[in-house]
Amino acid sequence: MKNTAPWIADMAELPYTDELLYDPLYSIELSVHYLNFLYSQYKDWDYALTAYHRGMGGLETYITRNGHAMSEYATTIQERATEFDGIAFVD
């Protein structure tokens, strides 16, 4: 997102322009830095993934409405991650 990407790029010590967001490798790198930041903030994948999907403010709204951070997005990502556990990816 254009409102999140500049501060993530700054935090990751990466250059930033709006055009770079269309570079898949750059976008993936920002995403990984952002997920790392969120996980270090919350120490819980449900919280981190829901915040990644909804924004940090959206996470708080989700928790207020549902009483937990285990969103469908967080659950789906974690279930799919276990499908690939132990698989080695090579070029």
> In angstroms, how far is the first alpha carbon of the chain from the final one?
29
**2-58 tens-digit pLDDT:** 788 999 999 999 999 999 999 999 999 999 999 999 999 999 999 999 999 999 999
Q: Tell me the C-alpha distance between 79 and 73, whole Å.
A: 10
- The answer to whether residues 11 and 31 touch, using CB atoms and an 8 Å cutoff, is no
Confidence at residue 91, expressed as pLDDT on a 0 to 100 scale: 46
Handedness of CA 81, 24, 73, 68 (dihedral sign): positive
**55-70 tens-digit pLDDT:** 999 999 999 999 999 9
Confidence at residue 69, expressed as pLDDT on a 0 to 100 scale: 96
**What is the pLDDT averaged over residues 62-79?**
94
Residues 6+ apart with CB under 8 A from 21: 2, 5, 27, 30
